[in-house]
Structure 1
Amino acid sequence: MSAILIKNGHLVDPANQKDEVCDILIQDDKIAKVAANITDNEAQVIDAAGKYVMPGLIDLHVHLREPGFEYKETIETGTKAAAHGGVTSICPMPNTKPVIDSAERIKDLLKRAKDAPVHVLPIGAVTIGQEGKELTDIAAMKEAGAVALSEDGKSVMDTLVFRKALWKAAECNIPMFSHCEDKSLVDGGVMNAGAKAKELGLPGITNAVEDVIVARDIIMSKEAGCQLHLCHCSTKDSAVLIKMAKEQGLSVTGEVCPHHFTMSDDQITEDHGRFKMNPPLRSKEDVEALRGALRDGIMDAISTDHAPHGAKEKNQSMKKAPFGIVGIENSFALGYTELVKKGYLTLSQLVEKMSVNPAKILHIDKGNLAQGRTADVIIADLSTEYAIDTNDFFSKGKNTPFEGKKVYGRIETTIVDGKIVYQFESEK
């Protein structure tokens, strides 16, 4: 029996209302004991004095790019990046080549990921080839291991097709992850419509591009009785609409990405692809609304929409560069620095947004460090400031505007199924 004993760490486990200094004994892949002053002469000891111990993070929204775009990212590099960021479970989106749109392709993805250092929980496409016309075999994909459905990268613009998908998802009891973007309203936009877009001479993307589909999908999910999760929400009215849905008792949740609660469009310094993401960086008013929505429990989760690209693709004008930002390796640090240190959330609430609530959305038995639960555990140093450095990234993608940003919340150890899969001391 392999054992790890984490000593003297400050445990933050909101699922069990724990916020205290104690020890955790891990045996094989399970939490064996949580108590003060545990002794085990056979266990590998990790002294976590002065550090914080938390359940592993769960990222609902990741792009691994494999198969088809391995020059951007692979399952190997993407899952190592996840471990580096303290993310022990990830949900890769299906917009690969070929699209993950069948039970066979779900199985192939899981086979490719069988030796990954973190849990890979696939999301299946809503329509075949993500062409928006013919529904995939949703029941078969769920049976094969899909945890959710999404047409991420685009919306199902045909409302009748989407309606049928929601009804089928409800029948199969699988959540629908909605990419909210009215393609007809984008109209060539590359960044948020506003003063900065005018200053840079770039076409803008209005908030309505997102808000119209958020409203549509909430209404449609209500009719179908389907669990709806709204991806990468970026506008103040997305928060208003989700609040209204919750007040009606609908099964609607929303996620916010770190870049959307950290940066506004007025902080874009030049016309460069590292600032281009979808949805775009929004106004200060939107940023503040998203922070408030996270604080008030309107937005349920923090996910990254980790979207790696090649350096040449991103090192050009926003007019030509693809949309996307990497984020899985610094999501916790940005959350802690921007939300906890600035008083929007407590550390326990941040863990809820990044671990407990994502587990609930997926209906999986994670985000919980009680005795007998799976030993997905992270240890973080919250007191040492450091600068984000893409040279330290395990991801192939370096496309981020946060290079050099000073943050707190370095992940020091990541444990998955009772095995250490990342330690800061061994960083490349």
Structure 2
Amino acid sequence: MTAPKLFANARLIDPLTGRDEQGGLLVHHGLIADLGPSVKADAAPDDTEIIDCQGRVLGPGLVDMRAFVGEPGAEHRETIATATQAAAAGGVTTLVCMPDTNPAIDDPAIVDFLLRRARDTGVVRILPAAALTRGLAGTEMTEVGLLKEAGAAAFTDGARSIRNAGIFRRILTYARDFDALVMHHTEDPDLVGSGVMNAGELSSRLGLPGRHTAAETIMLERDMRLVELTGCRYHAASVTCRASLDVIRRAKEMGLPVSCGATINHLSFNEGDIGDYRTFFKLSPPLRSEDDRQALVAAVAEGLIDVVVSDHNPQDVDQKRQPFAEAADGAIGVETMLIAGLRLVHAEMLSLAGLFAAMSARPSRRLGLAGGKLAKGAPADLVELDLGAPWVLDPAQLKSRSKNTPFDGARLQGRVTRTMVGGSIVHEASSA
């Protein structure tokens, strides 16, 4: 039995209730026992460990709904141990790992393996997302019921879209019967073709084949029709353009059980950041125009975009040190997701509570988790944050095994000082 811990002199942020006040928070038996202005160090029991937050923010731990953790089969890029250490350093207390591993997460035994590995080597909560189709091939659906029983939190084919509408309709129907959440990557592979960046004037000037936003919106429109037909809970993994937001808005107005996410990279950068063929900015889906980026940020503030994800996709040096068209897609992001989001808060484009809602409260609710809030009886999954701390990002200091970050050398303001999972501190910055 561990002694109670009291976070004193904190700025408490709860996106569910709108709480934003100075006070304390008491943790006991892995749960939040009490919180508010009346919770102070001088009234705590004798055996309580006092943590003076010195006015720093204390909010619910983040839930990242889209991350690649490497195991099994790609441990040279990332492991559960390194991914969860990076998550803890970024204030992420729950990580949903993608199924595009080797072998793919398409069997209950692999789900069980991941959960055991996470228990043995991870420092934050790991929730496996199982494959929709066997081997991620898009042709034969997996056993959704057995996978969910084994512990799969959601179902997706990762960065692959299911092009066959008939197969996807059967998947949605089957998933509905098990109340399973389907998370789909919405890009028509036939329209994507060989495109490597956003289609437009810039791609023409750079001499790179483009990927048009229509590849996203056409697939998304199709999916909304199938959701209307089946009633399955559906989540668009990553929307990237203004036109997709119109599709999502219409679907929600119709009352369909849909939600959507956006990556922190698409909220932070636009196609111009590719500059002189910088491969750390080669993503899937690609970075879009500045107009699209601003539309995404406004949609997060409005709540139309439900969640913000890291889309953490570690790649080794050999895969990124290539000509732009040949380099692998993806960037790491679980450690920088919250801090990058603070840029939008400092620019007054998004409130701090809105940021926590998109990174903690709403993903928790979509996944059916008990966290994502500061409330009595809720899990003590917490992040302490120094909003004003300035620093320059050095990739060598990041905890991820790979270092392919688009924030290389970026000047940032704000730093995670402590992270707690289930009442245990799993990350503590040296300056905390």
TM-score range, shorter chain: over 0.9
Q: Is residue 265 from structure 1 mapped to residue 271 from structure 2 by the alignment?
A: yes
Contact 1:334 1:407 in 2 (8 A): yes
Question: Partner of 2:81: helix, strand, or coil?
Answer: helix
Q: CA deviation at 1:400?
A: 1.8
User: What is the percentage of aligned positions where both structures have the same residue?
Assistant: 36
Corresponding residue for residue 96 of structure 2: 91
Report the residue type matching 1:380 in the other structure: L
Corresponding residue for residue 35 of structure 2: 34
Corresponding residue for residue 399 of structure 1: 404
Contact 2:300 2:306 in 1 (8 A): yes
Q: Is residue 143 from structure 1 mapped to residue 117 from structure 2 by the alignment?
A: no
Residue in structure 2 matching 1:207, options 192, 213, 220: 213
Contact 1:72 1:397 in 2 (8 A): yes
Contact 2:60 2:382 in 1 (8 A): yes
Q: CA deviation at 1:326?
A: 0.7
Corresponding residue for residue 357 of structure 1: 362
Q: Matched residues in 2 for 1:355 and 1:252: separation?
A: 18
Q: Matched residues in 2 for 1:182 and 1:284: separation?
A: 23
Corresponding residue for residue 326 of structure 1: 332
Report the residue type matching 1:379 in the other structure: E
Q: Is residue 173 from structure 1 mapped to residue 174 from structure 2 by the alignment?
A: no
Corresponding residue for residue 186 of structure 1: 192
Q: Matched residues in 1 for 2:15 and 2:116: separation?
A: 33
Corresponding residue for residue 418 of structure 1: 423
Question: Partner of 1:15: helix, strand, or coil?
Answer: coil
The superposition leaves residues 331-368 of structure 1 with CA deviations (integer Å, 9 ceiling, x where unpaired) of 1111111x212222211111100000001110111102
Q: CA deviation at 1:426?
A: 8.0
Question: Partner of 2:163: helix, strand, or coil?
Answer: coil
Q: CA deviation at 1:65?
A: 1.4
Q: Matched residues in 1 for 2:223 and 2:334: separation?
A: 27
TM-score of the pair, normalised by structure 1: 0.97
TM-score of the pair, normalised by structure 2: 0.96
Q: Is residue 225 from structure 1 mapped to residue 226 from structure 2 by the alignment?
A: no
Question: Partner of 1:5: helix, strand, or coil?
Answer: strand
Q: Matched residues in 2 for 1:128 and 1:319: separation?
A: 29
Aligned-CA RMSD value? 1.2
Corresponding residue for residue 348 of structure 1: 353
Corresponding residue for residue 156 of structure 1: 162
Ranges of 4+ aligned residues in structure 1 off by more than 6 Å:
none
Report the residue type matching 1:77 in the other structure: T
Corresponding residue for residue 298 of structure 2: 292
Residue in structure 2 matching 1:68, options 70, 73, 84: 73
Q: Is residue 314 from structure 1 mapped to residue 338 from structure 2 by the alignment?
A: no
Q: Is residue 301 from structure 1 mapped to residue 307 from structure 2 by the alignment?
A: yes
In structure 2, runs of 5+ residues without a counterpart are none
Moved more, 311-320 or 126-135: 311-320
Contact 2:22 2:55 in 1 (8 A): no
Q: Matched residues in 1 for 2:302 and 2:249: separation?
A: 10
Question: Partner of 1:163: helix, strand, or coil?
Answer: helix
Contact 2:13 2:374 in 1 (8 A): no
Residue in structure 1 matching 2:60, options 52, 55, 62: 55
The superposition leaves residues 300-355 of structure 1 with CA deviations (integer Å, 9 ceiling, x where unpaired) of 11001100010121112121111101111111111111x21222221111110000
Q: CA deviation at 1:168?
A: 0.7
Corresponding residue for residue 389 of structure 1: 394
Q: Matched residues in 2 for 1:120 and 1:236: separation?
A: 32
Q: CA deviation at 1:150?
A: 0.2
Corresponding residue for residue 236 of structure 1: 242
Q: Matched residues in 1 for 2:97 and 2:215: separation?
A: 24
Q: CA deviation at 1:193?
A: 1.1
Q: Matched residues in 2 for 1:423 and 1:199: separation?
A: 46
The superposition leaves residues 22-55 of structure 1 with CA deviations (integer Å, 9 ceiling, x where unpaired) of 1111112111111322423312221111200000
Q: Is residue 245 from structure 1 mapped to residue 251 from structure 2 by the alignment?
A: yes
The superposition leaves residues 154-182 of structure 1 with CA deviations (integer Å, 9 ceiling, x where unpaired) of 11111111100000111000110010111
Q: Matched residues in 1 for 2:127 and 2:414: separation?
A: 26
